[in-house]
Amino acid sequence: MNRDAEKTPLLRLEDVSVYYGHGKHRFCAVNHITFDVFRGETFGIVGESGSGKTTIGRSIIRINPVSSGSILFNGRCISGSLPASQKKELPRQIQMIFQDPMSSLNERAKVDYIVSEGLIRRRGTSAKERADQVAWALSEVGLRPEFANRFPHEFSGGQRQRIGIARALIMEPELIIADEPISALDVSIRAQVLNLMRKLQKKRNLTYIFISHDLSVMRFICDRIAAIHRGNMVELADAETLFSRPLHPYTRSLLSAIPLPDPEYERNKWPLIYDEGIHDYSMDKPKWVEAEPGHFVWGNKKEQDEYRERLSK
């Protein structure tokens, strides 16, 4: 990825917050999130279950409304009220691959309808053109065109996820949000799906937002990774920088939990436990600061000084 060739980000989130519920039951799912996604890169969002990862993805594709802040795509705001023409165009530009391929596919519909549903909603596409594009999309993800006449329950988990990728790919989007696309798959199938996604990215110059709780996978596929905890983004850096020089205690805790293929090491390993009580923000308020070029971390002045001292060593 050549970030200098594309100075303006494809996607930008500016101080985005998302709330669920109403009144006394209202709570913050995403809290003042800011980041850029550049064209052609794979941007990873990692965190434990319930941290707000999926909420961010669903907010970008307008399933969840943004409570405050703004989301810009190609320099245009796509959050809040939009003209009908822009609402119609966005599904072509941004697509999402959901976590569970079984629940995200209509069991009563054939693959032909599932994959081409986005095209059906766009006027001016004939039945023959849709059939040709479905055959092309299925071939792109390694499935036979004749599979279009089958139902989702006739496929394995890995094949169903490929159908989900074909459904996104047929719209020829610029950005694909992959929400834990391999977590429901067997280990042997995961590598196939990841390799397929990387192949399609290079072939079609796709931009990915890859959401997962598995840091070992993120290191393999992502250019940059952001760690999020309870709706707060706590650290953002290039993948290798995050693994070699993690700063925030939560990021270090996540990294310490990654299993390694070394029985002796695993037997004696003590994962780091993240305790939010170590932060005292009563007087010294935290800020989102660039600790080193391209490496951002959340913390107050005292913590930022400690992070910079650690980097200097």
116-140 confidence digits (pLDDT tens) = 988 887 666 788 889 999 999 999 9
- Over the chain, what is the mean pLDDT? 90
41-54 confidence digits (pLDDT tens) = 999 999 988 899 99
Domain with residues 3-37+63-212, CATH architecture: 3-Layer(aba) Sandwich (3.40)
Tell me which long-range contacts 141-144 makes (C-beta under 8 A, separation of at least 24).
141/165, 141/166, 141/169, 141/196, 141/200, 142/196
Please state whether beta strands 42-46 and 224-229 pair in parallel, antiparallel, or not at all (unpaired).
parallel
Alpha carbon distance 14, 224 (integer Å): 18
> What single-letter amino acid sits at 117?
E
Count CB atoms within 10 A of the CB of residue 8: 11
Closest CA to 166 of 202, 193, 186: 193
Count CB atoms within 10 A of the CB of residue 100: 16
Q: What share of the chain has pLDDT > 70, as a percent? A: 97
238 half-sphere exposure, CB direction, 13 A CA radius: 8
Averages of pLDDT over runs of 10 residues in the chain (313 residues) are 60 96 90 95 94 94 94 94 88 89 86 90 78 93 93 91 92 94 80 88 94 87 95 96 96 89 81 91 92 95 94 87
CB within 8 Å of 195: residues ≥ 6 apart: none
